[in-house]
């Protein structure tokens, strides 16, 4: 070490830990590792939840319970399944549960507890860039055509193109065969085209 002083060199950001490494750390009881995974995937989870429940508060509650229940289930997590398909599967289940509970007849006048956590502006959805040439009203047409699809169709599209799962991972996420993923996806996109064209 010389006697000269200088500004410390800009330190390169540490490489992001892989999902597997974070899951392994969380399985060992490292809560910070789990928190990092939550922050990494809470937005796509929230979006998928919203596609199921179509209510932002319920989607937020489903997102919360997804990560809580996934943490509880970590001891039985099978690494060969992959964290994303696993999270997608839990998200779908939790979201449907939220929807069911919201329709359950209440036995008191006390309102169902709602989430009121911190919010921040949503990150841009990458796929929107492909729609750059569309007028705002056309975007609405596309979004509404998507909304009118059945839930199974919406979920297979979400698994493939929102969560970015490949065919086999989507099959795991949806608990169906890979062939069924292809079949359902093909049918869903066909339906989408039909609805967009107004047929």
Query: Segment 137-196, which members bind another protein (CB under 8 A)?
Result: 137-143, 145-147, 154, 157-158, 160-162, 175, 185-186, 188-189, 192-193, 196
Compute how many residues bind another protein; rule: CB under 8 A. Answer: 85
Per-position x/- string for 27-66, each x denoting binding to another protein as judged by CB under 8 A, each - no binding: ----x--xx--xx--xx--xx--xx----x---x--xx--
Are 89 and 66 contacting, i.e. CB atoms less than 8 angstroms apart? no
With contacts defined by CB under 8 A, name the span among 5-13, 15-23, 75-83 that binds another protein.
75-83
Q: Select from 84, 90, 165, 171 the one that contacts another protein (CB under 8 A).
A: 90
Cα-trace Rg, the chain: 21
With contacts defined by CB under 8 A, name the span among 5-13, 15-23, 84-92 that binds another protein.
84-92
Are 181 and 85 contacting, i.e. CB atoms less than 8 angstroms apart? no
Instruction: Establish if 104 lies at the interface with another protein (CB under 8 A).
Output: yes
Instruction: Provide the 3-class DSSP secondary structure of residue 113.
Output: coil
98 phi and psi angles, rounded to 5 deg: -60, -45
Min dist. Cβ of residue 3 to another protein (A): 45
CA distance 184 to 199: 20
Tell the burial category of 93 from Cβ atoms under 10 Å away from its Cβ (0-12, 13-18, 19+). Answer: middle
């Amino acid at each position: 070490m010389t006697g000269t002083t200088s500004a410390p060199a800009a330190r390169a950001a540490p490489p992001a830990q892989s999902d597997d490494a974070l899951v392994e750390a969380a399985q060992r009881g490292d809560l910070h590792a789990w928190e990092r995974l939550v922050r990494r995937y809470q937005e796509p989870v929230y979006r998928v939840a919203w596609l199921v429940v179509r209510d932002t508060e319920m989607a937020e509650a489903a997102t919360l319970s997804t990560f809580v229940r996934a943490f509880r289930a970590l001891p039985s997590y099978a690494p060969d399944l992959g964290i994303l398909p696993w999270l997608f599967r839990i998200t779908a289940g939790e979201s449907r549960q939220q929807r069911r509970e919201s329709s359950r007849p209440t036995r008191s006048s006390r309102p169902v507890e709602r989430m009121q956590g911190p919010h921040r502006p949503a990150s841009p959805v990458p796929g929107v860039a492909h729609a750059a040439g569309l007028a705002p009203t056309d975007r609405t047409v596309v979004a509404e055509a998507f909304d009118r699809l059945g839930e199974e169709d919406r979920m297979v599209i979400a698994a493939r193109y929102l969560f970015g799962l490949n065919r086999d991972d989507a099959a795991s996420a949806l608990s169906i065969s890979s062939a069924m993923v292809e079949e359902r996806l093909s049918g869903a996109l066909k339906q989408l085209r039909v609805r967009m064209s107004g047929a």
